[in-house]
Copies of this chain bind each other. A is one copy, B any other.
């Protein structure tokens, strides 16, 4: 800026002003400054700016995995809003590990983000402690809790599991099973499903857990195990994701089982492919981009020092009945 200032015949401060608020500088100076910037290819140093102003315009986002469409879609919705407001995103993946999350939070905080986006409500005590003493807005997405660190935006996974069980009973399925990924929230939905189903019917629910990332392969293998190891003979299978549900449907067709006649299938997430499968997939819709956007709006309110009515936003879910169940 000093160099630009010399070229334009003004001081460094004037250049700084010109860039941050052109209205505070006379049109003629502005023109000369622009010209000097053009000539030199000057790019302001946001690092120095952040140090001086104590504002980084940086938001830290920590997600389990960016190749997971659920989290990718949420953070995409979040990022779009934040970027429009002049913030950029420092993104890292935990690989679903709270320990790794702790390390990431520490390194992210060292960059002095203006706010932080976390996935889920389960963090190590040390993570909570760091976040609390960092004294910046924090939003936890994709789940709800009575004791958020600061803000939270999500829906109740237990209620979603219960709603699926009630749907199963209403539709008259008297034999059900679950296929779930091995992540904590999927397991919470599964547990609520089984508990509610047992309450309503008195029956136990056989369940299979797929230990790796949700995939078609996982769904196919899980159905195989349900049949071979649990002697499952048809009814409804409630899956923890649309991807697993799709895998189950593929394996079912391969085995000559008709969906939904021999085997009904429910997914979770309502990914864009769900309605285009044949038969179309009955699933639970969660508006992922909206979760991200609401999280962004909540943070922005905090960053503008506005009053936040409620720390927690429940965006709910909705069962979408299609052909597969």
Stretch at the interface among A126-134, A194-202, A300-308: A126-134
- Rounded to whole angstroms, the CA-CA distance of A93 and B73 in the bound complex is 12
In this complex, how many residues of chain A approach chain B with their Cβ under 8 Å: the count is 52
Q: Take A110-B46, A111-B47 as given contacts and tell me if A273 and B90 are in contact as well, using a CB distance cutoff of 8 Å.
A: no
Query: Which single residue of chain B is at the shortest CB-CB distance from A61?
Result: B91
Q: Take A93-B76, A216-B272 as given contacts and tell me if A43 and B277 are in contact as well, using a CB distance cutoff of 8 Å.
A: no
- Copies assembled: 2
In this assembly, does A66 line the interface, its C-beta being within 8 Å of a C-beta of chain B?
yes
In this assembly, does A220 line the interface, its C-beta being within 8 Å of a C-beta of chain B?
yes
- Rounded to whole angstroms, the CA-CA distance of A89 and B44 in the bound complex is 20
In this assembly, does A247 line the interface, its C-beta being within 8 Å of a C-beta of chain B?
yes
In this assembly, does A189 line the interface, its C-beta being within 8 Å of a C-beta of chain B?
no
In this assembly, does A205 line the interface, its C-beta being within 8 Å of a C-beta of chain B?
no
In this assembly, does A25 line the interface, its C-beta being within 8 Å of a C-beta of chain B?
no
Chain A, range 207-228, C-beta contacts under 8 Å to B? 215-217, 220
* Majority DSSP secondary structure for residues of A touching B: helix
In this assembly, does A48 line the interface, its C-beta being within 8 Å of a C-beta of chain B?
yes
Can you show 14 pairs from A to B with CB atoms below 8 A apart?
A: A41-B133, A43-B106, A43-B110, A43-B134, A47-B47, A47-B51, A47-B112, A76-B93, A79-B92, A83-B92, A89-B92, A215-B276, A216-B273, A250-B277
Which positions in A face B, CB cutoff 8 Å? 41, 43-48, 50-51, 56, 58, 65-67, 69, 72-73, 75-76, 79, 83, 88-93, 106-112, 129-130, 133-134, 215-217, 220, 246-247, 250, 253-254, 272-273, 276-278
